Structure 1
Amino acid sequence: MESIARQSVKMCPFMQRAGSVQGLQVLHNANLPAVARKCPVVGHAMSRAYATASGTGARRATAPEPKAGSANEMVANHATQESLFDYDGLFETEIEKKRLDKSYRFFNNINRLAKEFPKAHRDLEDDKVTVWCSNDYLALSKNQQVIDVMKKTLDKYGAGAGGTRNIAGHNRHALKLEAEVAALHKKEGALVFSSCYVANDAVLSLLGQKIKDLVIFSDELNHASMIVGIKHANTTKHIFRHNDYDQLEEMLQMYPRSTPKLIAFESVYSMSGSVADIDRICTLAEKYGALTFLDEVHAVGLYGPHGAGVAEHCDFEAHRLAGIKSLPDKSVMDRVDMITGTLGKSFGTVGGYVAASQRLIDWFRSYAPGFIFTTSLPPSVMAGAAEAIRYQRSHLELRQLQQLHTGYVKQGMKELGIPVIPNPSHIVPVLVGNPDLTKQASDLLMKNHKIYVQAINFPTVARGTERLRITPTPDHTDDLSDILLDAVDDVFNELQLPRVRDWESQGGILGVGESDFVEQSNLWTEEQLSLSNNQLNPNVSDPVLGNLEVSSGIKV
Structure 2
Amino acid sequence: MQCPFLSRFNANYLRTYTEVLYQSYGSYCPVIGKTINNATAANAIVTEKKLSLVTSMPFSSTAARSYSDRYAADVRSNNDYTNNKNVALNDVMGDGDPKSKSAFHYEKFFNEQIMKKKRDHSYRVFKRVNRLAGDGLFPHALEYSSQSERPITVWCSNDYLGMSAHPSVKRAVQDALNMHGSGAGGTRNISGNSLHHERLERKLAELHQKDGALLFTSCFVANDSTLFTLAKLLPNCHIFSDAGNHASMIMGIRNSGVPKHIFRHNDVDHLRQLLQQVDKSIPKIVAFETVHSMTGAICPLEEILDVAHEHGAITFIDEVHAVGLYGDHGAGVGELNGVLAKMDIISGTLGKAFGNIGGYIAGTSSLIDLIRSYAAGFIFTTSLPPTVLCGALKAVNILASDEGRQLRDMHQRNVSYLKNLLKREGFPVEDTPSHIIPIKIGDPLKCTQISNMLMEQFGHYLQSINYPTVARGQEKLRLAPTPFHTTEMMNVLVTDLKKVWDVLELSKNVPLNPSGCMFCNSESCWHQENCPDLECGIPNCPRLEVSVAA
TM bracket, shorter-chain basis: 0.7 to 0.9
Map 1:201-220 to 2 at 5 A.
201-220=224-243
Runs of 4+ in 1 over 6 A off after TM superposition: 53-56, 506-511
Q: Structure 2: how far apart are the matches of 1:508 and 1:488?
A: 28
Q: Structure 1 residues 78, 259: closer, same or farther in 2, change over 3 A? A: farther
User: Aligned pair 1:233/2:231, yes or no?
Assistant: no
Do the aligned residues in 2 keep the contact of 1:432 with 1:497 (CA within 8 Å)? no
Q: Which residue of 1 aligns with 2:436?
A: 427
Do 2:296 and 2:434's aligned partners in 1 also have CA atoms closer than 8 Å? Answer: yes
Distance 1:489 1:510 in 2: 30
Shift of 1:95: 1.1
Equivalent pairs: percent with the same residue? 46
User: What is the SS of the residue equivalent to 1:192?
Assistant: strand
Cα drift, residue 510 of structure 1:
10
1:165 aligns with 2:184: no
Cα drift, residue 334 of structure 1: 1.0
Give 5+ residue unaligned stretches, structure 2: 1-62, 68-85, 519-550
Q: Is the 8 A contact 2:466 2:472 kept in 1?
A: yes
1:81 CA drift (Å): 3.4
Classify 1:247/1:508 alpha carbon distance in 2 versus 1 (closer, same or farther; 3 Å): closer
User: Quick one: which of 308, 322, 329 aligns to 1:285?
Assistant: 308
Distance in 2 (CA, whole Å) between partners of 1:373 and 1:77 is 44
For residues 271 and 507 of structure 1, the distance between their equivalents in structure 2, rounded to whole angstroms, comes to 15
Once residues 503 and 149 of structure 1 are traced to their aligned partners in structure 2, the CA distance between those partners, rounded to angstroms, is: 47
Q: Deviations over 1:288-326 (max 9, x none)?
A: 0001000000000100011000010002xxxxxxxxxxx
1:309 and 2:328 correspond? no
Helix, strand or coil at the partner of 2:226: helix
* 1:515 matched residue in structure 2: none
SS at match of 2:261: strand
Q: Does 1:361 align with 2:372?
A: no
Q: Which has the higher contact order (CA 8 A, sep 6+)?
A: 1
Cα distance in 1 between the residues matched to 2:516 and 2:102: 50
Larger radius of gyration: 1
Contact 2:297 2:434 in 1 (8 A): yes
User: Quick check: 1:269–1:275 contact (8 Å CA) kept in 2?
Assistant: yes
Q: Provide the residue aligned with 1:391 in structure 2.
A: 398
Within the alignment, does 1:101 sit opposite 2:120 as a pair? Answer: yes
Given the superposition, is the C-alpha separation of residues 54 and 348 from structure 1 closer, same or farther in structure 2, using an over 3 Å criterion?
closer
CA deviation after TM superposition for structure 1 residue 86, in Å: 2.4
- Within 5 Å, which residues of 2 pair with 1:417-496? 417-496=426-505
- What amino acid does structure 2 have at the position aligned with 1:119? H
CA-to-partner distance for each residue in 1:499-553, whole Å, 9 max, x for gaps? 14x548x988999xxxxxxxxxxxxxxxxxxxxxxxxxxxxxxxxxxxxxxxxxx
Distance change in 2, residues 1:138/1:77 (3 Å)? farther
AA in 2 matched with 1:435: P
Deviations 1:474-508 (A, max 9, x none): 101111100111111111222122214x548x988
Structure 2 residue 128 is matched with structure 1 residue 121 = no
TM-fit CA distance, 1:93: 2.0
Contact 1:503-1:509 within 8 A present in 2 as well: no
**TM superposition shift of 1:91:** 1.3
> In 2, Cα distance between the equivalents of 1:81 and 1:437?
49
2:215 aligned counterpart, secondary structure: strand
Task: Specify the alignment match of 1:87 in structure 2.
Answer: 106
Offset from partner CA, 1:376-415 (integer Å, 9 cap, x none): 0111110110110001110201111111100000000111
Provide the C-alpha distance between the structure 1 equivalents of 2:87 and 2:295, rounded to a whole number of angstroms.
Answer: 56
The CA deviation at 1:352 is 0.3
Change (3 A) 1:464 1:412: same
Tell me the number of residue pairs that the alignment of Structure 1 and Structure 2 aligns. 432
Q: Which amino acid aligns with 1:90?
A: F
Shift, 1:120, TM fit? 0.4
Distance 2:285 2:344 in 1: 10
Write the distance in 2 (CA, Å) between the matches of 1:419 and 1:217: 33
- SS at structure 1 position matched to 2:293: coil
What's the secondary structure of 2:335's corresponding residue? helix
1:6-21 equivalence runs, <5 A: none
List aligned pairs for 1:321-400, cutoff 5 A: 332-394=339-401, 395=403, 396-400=405-409
- Preserved contact between residue 87 and residue 102 of structure 2 (Cα < 8 Å): no
Counterpart amino acid of 1:218?
S
The answer for the alignment partner of 2:292 in structure 1 is 269
Distance in 1 (CA, whole Å) between partners of 2:231 and 2:96 is 41
TM-aligned CA distance change 1:507 to 1:226, over 3 Å:
closer
CA distance in 1: counterparts of 2:194 and 2:176, whole angstroms: 12
CA 1:346/1:78 → structure 2, altered by over 3 Å: closer, same or farther? Answer: farther
Q: Hey, what's the Cα distance between the residues in 2 that align with 1:146 and 1:343?
A: 13
CA distance in 2, matches of 1:257, 1:79: 55
The answer for the alignment partner of 2:282 in structure 1 is: 259
CA distance in structure 2 between the partners assigned to 1:356 and 1:212 by the alignment: 20
Q: Given that residues 303 and 312 in structure 1 are in contact (C-alpha distance below 8 angstroms), is that contact kept between their aligned partners in structure 2?
A: yes
Give RMSD over aligned pairs.
2.6
Amino acid at match of 1:103: S
Letter in structure 2 aligned against 1:342: T
